[in-house]
Amino acid sequence: MPKLPPKLQEIVDDFAGMSREEKLETLIGYAESLPALPDRLKAERDKMEAVPECMTPVFLIAEKQDDGGIIFHVDIPPQSPTVRGLAAILLNGLNGTTLEEILTVPTDFYLPMKLEEAVSQQRLHGFVGVLQHMKHAALQWA
Amino acid sequence: MSYVHPEYLVDTEWVAAHSTDLDVRVIESDEDPLLYAIGHIPGAAQVDWFSTLQHPLRRDFLTREKFEEVASRLGITNDTTIVFYGDKSNWFACYALWLFQYYGHKNVKIMNGGRLKWEKENRPLVKDVPSYAETKYRAKEADKSIRAFRDEVLKQSNAKKPLVDVRSPKEYSGELISMPNYPQEGATRGGHIPGAVSIPWAQAVNEADATFKTPEELRTLYEGKGIKSDAGEVIAYCRIGERSSLTWFVLKYLLGYPKVKNYDGSWTEWGNLVDAPIEK
């Protein structure tokens, strides 16, 4: 199994050692810490198609820095704290890494976190969704 | 014209006045399980449609005994008025209400508009989790008259009786197996149950504040698609039975159809069932 980028690995290890309550609180902390979308990207977001079925609309954009690292910006409504929390973990773990590192993150990387203790297994599909979205957005810099 | 059973709905104003009454229990049931922790209606308890209400091993609800434990822990007696509310236009609130009815709790209501309307009206949301004096709740035998199983769905389809598919149009057509932007998994075949008409659940609610549409609008919506109140038993389904529990609530209580069942096996069962007929 490929190694995870160090920061993401650190977050995974942290969660692995937490109690259910700590996981819940930490996930909420991540959801609340998700940075707002920079103003310069808001016009781009407004072009996004409305998602039918009132699903969580996830706006995500990848930018490449001068040093080659990729930075993600996301916009997710406050009504969806679980998806915000999962996205914030990925942002914290992957921002600044390279395209190659991002593409090699396995879709089941989160299993050791045992997050299903805090939010049910079903919700964790959101992780896969956001990660795939990030990989797809990052590919424009291939 | 009013709803046929308006007593199954309360508005946000009523909940604001009664959310901590001793004979009332307000219960939040969301798609997103973190919302309750971030802030909920004062006095409200939480159930999670999956971790609280499903059987830990089988694909089924929790057992009657476990349901009694959950209800007792929430301080509910057999006479408590339970008001459900939640995110996503009250999907999961309707799901929880349906399950409480399945185990025989009669006095249940939906807060019209759910979390969205409550938030839009800038009403208070609190973080403290209330505790309730434990009760000895006694559930009834499961009421299978509101739940459809696969064999009766097949009979319903073969007899060309009313079936309502409440999924999004692309799930109905078979183009998608899950909701747009959700993982495409859970069924090996796409399409719909033969004879089912497509009436996406969201057409029953107002997008702006998640309240239910007017009785006239609802009647026009379902009758216009051939789902009439005198047509006998109606079965609604979606992917896992959560969206269709909202449609079940609308048909049974707001429009007063005499016999409505929710098929919670839904597409994740039908689309995997060997030998089941499928239409595209």
Min Cα distance B104 → chain A (Å) is: 26
Per-residue pLDDT 10s for chain B (280 aa) are: 899 999 999 999 999 999 999 999 999 999 998 999 999 999 999 999 888 899 989 999 999 999 999 999 999 999 999 999 999 999 999 999 999 999 999 999 999 999 999 999 999 999 999 999 999 999 999 999 999 999 999 999 999 999 999 999 989 999 887 665 555 567 889 999 999 999 999 999 999 999 999 999 999 999 999 999 998 999 999 999 999 999 999 999 999 999 999 999 999 999 999 999 999 9
The beta-carbon neighbor of A81 closest among B38, B51, B180 is B38
Interface of A with B (CB under 8 A): 24, 27-28, 31, 51-56, 58, 79-83, 85, 118-123, 125, 128-129
Contact flag B34-A55 (C-beta cutoff 8 Å): no
- Give ipTM to 2 decimals: 0.83
Report the residue of chain B nearest A57, measured CA to CA.
B181
Min Cα distance B79 → chain A (Å) is: 31
DSSP 8-state assignment for residue A119: S
Contacts A129 to B, Cβ<8 Å: 181-183
Report the residue of chain A nearest B88, measured CA to CA.
A54
Contact flag A83-B32 (C-beta cutoff 8 Å): yes
Contact flag A79-B37 (C-beta cutoff 8 Å): no
Contact flag B38-A125 (C-beta cutoff 8 Å): no
Contact flag B34-A120 (C-beta cutoff 8 Å): no
Contact flag A81-B32 (C-beta cutoff 8 Å): yes
CB proximity list for B158: less than 8 A, separation 6 or greater: none
Q: Which of B74, B94, B139, B238 is an active site residue?
A: B238
Q: How confident is the model at residue A54 (pLDDT cuts 50, 70, 90)?
A: very low
